[in-house]
Structure 1
Amino acid sequence: MNILWDFDGTIFNTYPAYTKIVKEVLEDRVTEDEIYKLLKVSFSHALKYFNLTDEKEIYIRSRVRELKPDDLYPFPHVEDILKNANKNVIMTHKEREDVINILTFHRLEHYFVDMVAGDDGFPRKPDSASYKHLHDKHRIELAIGDRELDIIPAKQLGMKTCLFQNNTVGADFYLNDYKDFNSVIKL
């Protein structure tokens, strides 16, 4: 099976670290749970929702880039899926250098044959250009993401979709834990 993966919140559990950074800036204005829920829609959505100054937005984004690979953890059992797939590719809004550093630190880089990163010049999701690029090269059968934004382009291209830790209507499959992958995903 050839799989297209989102990165943040899908391969790596990055949102808790992002939530803490945003909470530092907002202090007691909002709970971590509220921040987390808004970040799961999208990082940009959360920052707009809180109506932050440009300076605070720049600060948050720079703090996120300063996170070390050992501050972020892959989800349990994700490596089992990666090693059993025929091909794995990534489509992320995160900068390429950051993704490579994190994957390398956690010894997961060898599982991926290709990537479109946020600094590669493609339009942002839900535009399907990056998905089409990866699909044309690798014949993707399944796209896995943690947000509706991650499956919209895949659906437009006729790929099967899976939402991870998200029950929004519209995906072909739903997973809350990667240990259940083989019992849930049937292509």
Structure 2
Amino acid sequence: MTSMIWDLGGTLMDTYPDVDRTLAGVVHDEVTDAAIMEVARLTRISSSHAISTLAERYGKPKAELRDAYEALEDQWEQQAPPLVDGALQVMEAIRESGGLNLVATHRDRGSATVLVDSLGLPVDDMVCAPDGFPRKPDPAMNLELLRRHSLDPADCCAVGDRPGDVAAAEAAGIRGYLLVTPGIPLGEPGVKRIESLRELLES
């Protein structure tokens, strides 16, 4: 198996249930399954898109939604969200085959490091956008990881849970996989979709 560039939240960590329920709770008095699904369709694009859309749709201040999201992130530093099913098994298979597990994330380094360490993820290196890199879909973080480890893009894959993750990978010449939530349409035609990280063990 080749080296892998991973997104963190939503790809290695199962953050979406908490995010969807939290944002739904800001705009709805009762958090129903329908309310959670409404939010889920927005968060799969991006959290900022979800916050902006919900604020406009329900007449809520963006700051109220953003504060709820940031409070949730603080909570994760005390108790990390669960791992996405198959994450550890795929990462261990990559390491056993001589590949590297690399992370490109929008999270700040302190928060990302706490989460990676608390979950025991075998991460070999990590690039964080707040360190001075543009956010995905810009390929800069992926290119930096390739440069640091002298990797050929053809020998790497990348997986993320949003179209921007795949776009950033492909712009760096890396084959990208989009981890999708069943029932939520996402991504452009031709994008390689997977519904479970375990599918990567077969690729």
TM range, smaller chain: 0.7 to 0.9
Which residues of structure 1 form unaligned runs of 5+? none
Separation (CA, whole Å) in 2 of partners of 1:102 and 1:113:
14
Match among 106, 114, 122 for residue 101 of structure 1: 114
| Paired residues for 1:108-187 under 5 Å | 108=121, 111-138=122-149, 139=151, 140=153, 141-165=156-180, 168=187, 169-171=189-191, 173-183=192-202, 185=203
Separation (CA, whole Å) in 1 of partners of 2:49 and 2:127:
21
Residue 67 of structure 1 is matched in structure 2 by: 75
Q: Secondary structure at the match of 2:28?
A: helix
Separation (CA, whole Å) in 1 of partners of 2:133 and 2:123:
19
Change (3 A) 1:24 1:118: farther
Which residues of structure 2 form unaligned runs of 5+? none
* Residues 1:6 and 2:7 aligned together: yes
Q: Considering only aligned residues, what root-mean-square deviation do their CA atoms show, in Å?
A: 2.0
How many Å apart are 1:72 and its aligned residue? 0.6
How many Å apart are 1:28 and its aligned residue? 4.0
Structure 1 ranges of 4+ moved more than 4 A: none
| Paired residues for 1:51-62 under 5 Å | 51=55, 52-62=60-70
Q: Secondary structure at the match of 1:119?
A: helix
Q: Secondary structure at the match of 1:143?
A: strand
Separation (CA, whole Å) in 2 of partners of 1:58 and 1:43:
9
Q: Secondary structure at the match of 1:67?
A: helix
How many Å apart are 1:40 and its aligned residue? 0.7
How many Å apart are 1:147 and its aligned residue? 1.2
Aligned residues: 181
Change (3 A) 1:118 1:55: same
Change (3 A) 1:9 1:158: same
Quote the sequence identity (%).
Answer: 24
